[in-house]
Chains A and B, each alone.
Chain A
Amino acid sequence: MNGSKLPGAQDAEKSVLAFLKTGLEKRCFEAVMMSHRVPAGDGYAYVLIKDPALLEGASPLPPVIPVQGAKALSALTRWGPPKETILAVMHPCEIRAAVELFKLKQASLDHIVFLSFDCPGVMPLSDYVKNPGEADRTYAAARRKWESAKMRPLCRICNEFVPAASDLHIGLLGAEEGSAWLFPVSPEGRRIMDSVGLETAVSSDAWEREAAERKTVREKERQEAHQVSRDRVSGPDGLLAAFSSCINCHNCMRVCPVCYCRQCYFDSEAFKLPPENYVERARKKGSLRLPADTLLFHLGRMSHMALSCVSCGTCEDACPMDIKVGQIFSLVADNAQKQLNYLPGRSREDPLPASVYQEEELEGVEKPYVETYSRTGDRDGAGSENQ
């Protein structure tokens, strides 16, 4: 794959902004959707920009993910695609989530072109809001050196920081400090580069080598971190302890890009029970924690969305109790996805595993299960205490 070195050598962000400005001016795309600093200067929001002058204050490499970009894209396209091309500048995990939402019929990708970049990770939202000005500077320095110490725990172990289903990709790894490459990943990406007037004559070899090296390191770190999480949360006691301080606000679910249900089952009428139900459960155990069914919520949510979980960490950012919910979900998601050889957001064509029927599937899981329960005679696997 050949790309182009973006003009300008001071700062990669500025080079990208210059490219976007030219693209808007030449009407290669009608508008750009990207992070923009809010008026008070203490945060970022996704903004759809048509007027090139308003790119001032926009940030292709923002230090935080306040709203998961897939959620923003879904808000933009759920009721129909835009009429003309919109270039969406998002972190790779946001693009992967957007592809999942597209498969779940919650977003349209017609007339959407994705621009991704080698993602250095983002800072925890709570760290950022303590002192936004200082955090902006800390982040800018850390991302240039690809230092992950200040980034979110899930960003530190992210191994999918390179393009997945994007059309254009900004290469930062292996580039000289302050400069950036632009690579066309899809035919649509190439068309845009052509129309902006960027020649694609620079080989991507150096970038690919560097990215592959990083990826290998990250994969090892990811496995190590997941092993730590596994040791911590294994078994019912581990899980209970991990979610012990949960206040049941469900904010993890509300910010999750994949949890798109308008009405979550766990907030539905099914969980509004007559008082006798709560009193009876309290009597059985002597004490019932309220709100009830906190752990059930997390396990249920996990089983609903783990196959599409992109490990973006937005859940963890939004938890008022600092529960390591993203790290736990990421561990389970990786395992579930491996079982079905599915990587969420990898391509628009891979069907969602839950939407595909295969007569022979997951025998390794099924067989021991059947054998176990045929031995005990409890075939349906339900606990016998209720019978």
Chain B
Amino acid sequence: MAQVLKINKSVDQGLTAFLEFLLKEKKVSGVVTLKKNRGGPGISYALITRPEELDGARPLFPLMPANSGKILSRLTLRGPLKDPIAVVLKPCELRALIELVKRQQGSLENMIFISQTCPGVYPLEMSVDGDLDALASRYQDQVQSGQHIPEIRPACRSCVHFTPQNADIIVSLIAEAGLDRSCSLVLNSKKGEALADGMAGEKREQDLNSQELAHFSDHRKTARLKLFDEMGEKTKGIKGLIGLFGKCIGCHACGNACPICYCNLCFFESQPNESRPNSFRADLEKKGAARIPAGTLFYHVGRLAHMSVSCVGCGMCMDVCPVDIPVGTLFSRVGESVQKTFEYIPGSKIDEPLPVAVFKEEEFAQLGEG
């Protein structure tokens, strides 16, 4: 049984009040949360140090303008934080951060994580010229009535890792009735308990709605299987892959939005990867034609090989693709099968080493013998 703190406010207001309490009581030196942009449309993450700046904060807003794992990696790339901050983020963002830290791209020190049982987020394009408040209130209505929200991103519709095991505090959203009047914070660690100490509200011993979460998980598993099967059918063989990626414009937005793709200079943008005149000539002689720039498929397959073991299925790649290629679904599918092979779930255990960082003398012998 975990301790649960119940605040008698709507879930968004309750969490914001909690963040205000943390800043006012100086339990943390800052909080990172989504916040409506000032002076223009949109929503972004912000590092807030003054309680009054929480005006406009929307900690649970159902949108991912960037994977915050990437943002927090940038924040702590040069060294750990000196003073504690509280971070409100989605489960896949926390998992991405953990993977980045394993790859020496950041530090978890002095970060306290507040996450949620995550019903999913809307595609970025729904926020373009959209009324953010209307979007948020529609979302809350759908979540508290226990619906599976049809408009959320495909990556979210098929996500089965929606419970943030490593968060210090978990905001209960899935299958939680009365989100418009109460905010339930599950204190999931000693750090989480210490943080909530002194906050006004009702405390009780209670677990997450495990039965409802299991139901939810079943539904998601079915959706995931279906989506993955369709993708597998679509991308069978080199022909299938060409069909999927033919319209790719080579902007590499997918790699740049990907939290795991942290390389300063991607191999596929490097000098050694650039085609020399001879290679075009060879293509012309052999095939009578050559696509320019070359290597569209090579980029995607190469990126898959580089990052799929750590792919958290966050769907950012798909959100930013200017030509709507379902790149995230393919990457999630391949990621899952690679991860199964290594019995590895990215971001689930902080102390578990990356599979590629471990040497085993006997491994995949059956692959080498073919």
Contacts and interface: CB of A to CB of B under 8 A. Distances in A.
Interface of A: 31, 33, 36, 38-40, 42-51, 53-54, 66-67, 71-73, 75-83, 125-126, 129-130, 237, 240-251, 254-255, 262-263, 267, 269, 272-276, 278-279, 282-283, 286-291, 317-322
B39 A237 contact: yes
A78 B275 CA distance: 9
B151 interface: no
Q: Which 10 A-B pairs have the closest CB atoms?
A: A244-B40, A43-B247, A51-B288, A245-B42, A38-B246, A286-B50, A241-B40, A75-B293, A287-B53, A286-B53
B203 to A, nearest CB: 30
Given A66-B247, A249-B320, A82 B50 contact: no
Given A54-B288, A262-B269, A263-B265, A272 B78 contact: yes
B81 interface: yes
Nearest to A69: B292
Q: Among the interface residues A249, A267, A319, which one has the most CB atoms of the partner chain B within 10 A?
A: A249
A54 B289 contact: yes
B50 A67 contact: no
B289 A242 contact: no
Nearest to B277: A80
Interface residues of B, number: 77
Contact of A79 (B30, B81, B264, B275): B275
B253 A249 contact: yes
B284 A48 contact: yes
B294 A75 contact: yes
Give the secondary structure class of A's interface: mixed
Given A287-B35, A320-B319, A39 B251 contact: no
A320 B284 contact: no
A243 B44 CA distance: 12
Contact of A254 (B35, B39, B251, B324): B251
B242 interface: yes
Contacts of A46: 291-293
Interface string B223-266: 00000000000000000001110110111110011000000110
B360 interface: no
B178 interface: no
Contacts of B49: 279, 282-283, 286-287
Contacts of A75: 274-275, 292-294
Interface centre among B76, B125, B291 (most CB of A within 10 A): B291
Contacts, number: 221
B292 A72 contact: yes
B71 A129 contact: no
B82 A276 contact: yes
Given A245-B127, A286-B48, A286-B50, A291 B289 contact: no
B108 interface: no
Given A249-B320, A286-B49, A291-B66, A320 B37 contact: no
Contact of A290 (B44, B53, B242, B322): B44
Given A251-B256, A289-B37, A321-B124, A50 B75 contact: no
Contact of A274 (B79, B127, B293): B79
B76 A275 contact: yes
Nearest to B107: A275
Interface in B270-296: 270-271, 274-277, 280-281, 283-284, 287-294, 296
Nearest to A81: B277
23 contacts: A45-B291, A47-B290, A48-B283, A75-B274, A75-B293, A81-B277, A125-B249, A125-B323, A129-B323, A237-B39, A247-B124, A248-B66, A249-B320, A251-B256, A254-B252, A255-B249, A269-B264, A274-B79, A275-B79, A275-B80, A279-B82, A290-B45, A321-B42
Contacts of B218: none
B202 interface: no
B39 A244 contact: yes
